[in-house]
Amino acid sequence: MTDLTSLGYPEGYHLGISFILWNITIVVVATLAINLYLNARKSDLINVKKMLRSKSLVYTGYCIFFSLIQFGIFFPEIFIHILLLGGVFLCLPVSFYFYYWEKNLTRLKRIPTLSAVVATIIIFIAFLTSLFFPNLIEFIMDYLVFVAFSLITVSFVLYIYMIYDFARNVKGISILTGRIWMGGMILLLVAFFPEVPPGVKILPAFFVLYLPPIFLMIGASMAFYGINKLFTQISSFYAQTQKCAVHRGTIEKGNPLYSCPSCGITYCMKCFNQVIKKEGCWNCRKGAESEIEEEWKADIVVKIEKADKSKHKNYK
């Protein structure tokens, strides 16, 4: 029989309030997964459909993984087997999801997918080893699980970088929404860390028991918000050739562009600065209003500051 406390798990692991929090979290994440799938069905873009469906599968993987852990705590003798089996169920959809992103990255091509696939293989090997060589349990939990988690972390960090790169290069989208999305992905990683060694061994019992489900719920909701707000634009930015609606020329992948927040029409930055700022969006005539208003306000502030400085000098 496996003693969970000998592996670093605190007494009462996932029992009491923690058990209730995890079940609420699983229901919330499952609801978000269903919503992502339904949103995929509504989209007219094939690429967006694929991305949203695969993202829905990742959320489902989270639900299966943590549901299995809830089940496993009542059977300590097979807990490690259930934990590793859940890890396989989580890593498989993550690998599948990054496979879709592989062709979209302007840089870092194939690295997220490769990291996730290798992590899946390691977790599967650990699962088989735990079944046939139970005396190697501590080695598996101290080494193999840590390596797999590190590789998955690499994949997610590169994914976060991709969102950052998108938010930096596309004007007209909400930078705040991009930051919320990135923050949600970071919280998902933080929530996963205390569930397996070495996190479970080095963190206080309170953190291991209560904070992960809360972080997972908040992180999944933040990522869901960002996905629904920006997924069409980010998918279009990375996966499709862009053409400026003004000069009809191609905007190369990864180059800065302006995406109208009202209708989504894209312009190269040169045409946006020279034409759209003055005339408004050629499609809806609304898109550039907020940009123009912000620049006008900024210009007024600068003029007022200059006038105040001039008065101050004359007074002296």
Helix, strand, or coil (residue 204) = coil
Domain boundaries, the chain: 4-239, 243-315
Q: Residue 308 pLDDT more than 60?
A: no
Average pLDDT, the chain: 83
Taking the C-alpha atoms of residue 275 and residue 154, their distance in angstroms, rounded to an integer, is 41
235/67: higher pLDDT: 67
Question: Residue 267 is inside which H or E element, if any?
Answer: strand 266-268
Q: Average of pLDDT values for 174-178?
A: 87
Question: Residue 117 is inside which H or E element, if any?
Answer: helix 111-132
Taking the C-alpha atoms of residue 278 and residue 45, their distance in angstroms, rounded to an integer, is 31
**Token pair belonging to 13:** 């692991």
Q: How confident is residue 273, by pLDDT bands cut at 50, 70 and 90? A: confident
pLDDT, residue 240, reads: 60
Taking the C-alpha atoms of residue 35 and residue 14, their distance in angstroms, rounded to an integer, is 27
Strands, sheet with 266-268, edge to edge from the N-terminal-most edge strand: 170-171, 257-259, 266-268
Q: Do 156 and 108 form a contact (C-beta atoms < 8 A)? A: no
pLDDT, residue 300, reads: 44
Q: Do 287 and 261 form a contact (C-beta atoms < 8 A)? A: yes
Q: Average of pLDDT values for 252-270?
A: 75
Q: Average of pLDDT values for 168-191?
A: 88
Question: Residue 259 is inside which H or E element, if any?
Answer: strand 257-259
Q: Average of pLDDT values for 106-129?
A: 90
The region of weakest confidence among 2-6, 26-30, 194-198, 239-243 is 239-243
**For the domain with range 4-239, which CATH number is right: 1.10.287, 1.10.10, 1.10.3110, 1.20.1070?**
1.20.1070
pLDDT, residue 254, reads: 61
Q: How confident is residue 81, by pLDDT bands cut at 50, 70 and 90? A: very high
Taking the C-alpha atoms of residue 281 and residue 312, their distance in angstroms, rounded to an integer, is 42
Q: Residue 302 pLDDT more than 90?
A: no
Q: Average of pLDDT values for 206-222?
A: 94
| Winning range, highest mean pLDDT, from 1-15, 26-40, 171-185, 225-239 | 26-40
The region of weakest confidence among 49-53, 176-180, 247-251, 296-300 is 296-300
pLDDT, residue 263, reads: 67
pLDDT, residue 310, reads: 59
Taking the C-alpha atoms of residue 197 and residue 215, their distance in angstroms, rounded to an integer, is 18
Instruction: Report the 10 Å Cβ neighbour count for 227.
Output: 24
Q: How confident is residue 264, by pLDDT bands cut at 50, 70 and 90? A: low
Query: Dihedral of CA 68/24/190/39: which sign?
Result: positive
Q: Average of pLDDT values for 269-278?
A: 81
Q: Residue 124 pLDDT more than 90?
A: yes
Count of residues in the chain: 316
Q: How confident is residue 101, by pLDDT bands cut at 50, 70 and 90? A: confident
Taking the C-alpha atoms of residue 114 and residue 274, their distance in angstroms, rounded to an integer, is 43
Q: Average of pLDDT values for 6-17?
A: 86
Question: Residue 170 is inside which H or E element, if any?
Answer: strand 170-171
Taking the C-alpha atoms of residue 215 and residue 90, their distance in angstroms, rounded to an integer, is 17
Instruction: Report the 10 Å Cβ neighbour count for 207.
Output: 17
Taking the C-alpha atoms of residue 216 and residue 214, their distance in angstroms, rounded to an integer, is 5
Contacts for 38 with CB less than 8 Å, ≥ 6 apart:
none
Taking the C-alpha atoms of residue 84 and residue 70, their distance in angstroms, rounded to an integer, is 13
pLDDT, residue 76, reads: 85
Q: In the Cβ-directed half-sphere of 91, how many Cα atoms lie within 13 Å?
A: 26
Taking the C-alpha atoms of residue 8 and residue 35, their distance in angstroms, rounded to an integer, is 36
Q: Residue 304 pLDDT more than 80?
A: no
- Which residues are 242's β-sheet partners? 251
- Amino acid (one-letter) located at 23: N
Kindly report the backbone phi and psi dihedral angles of residue 315, in degrees, each rounded to the nearest multiple of 5, phi listed first: -65, -40
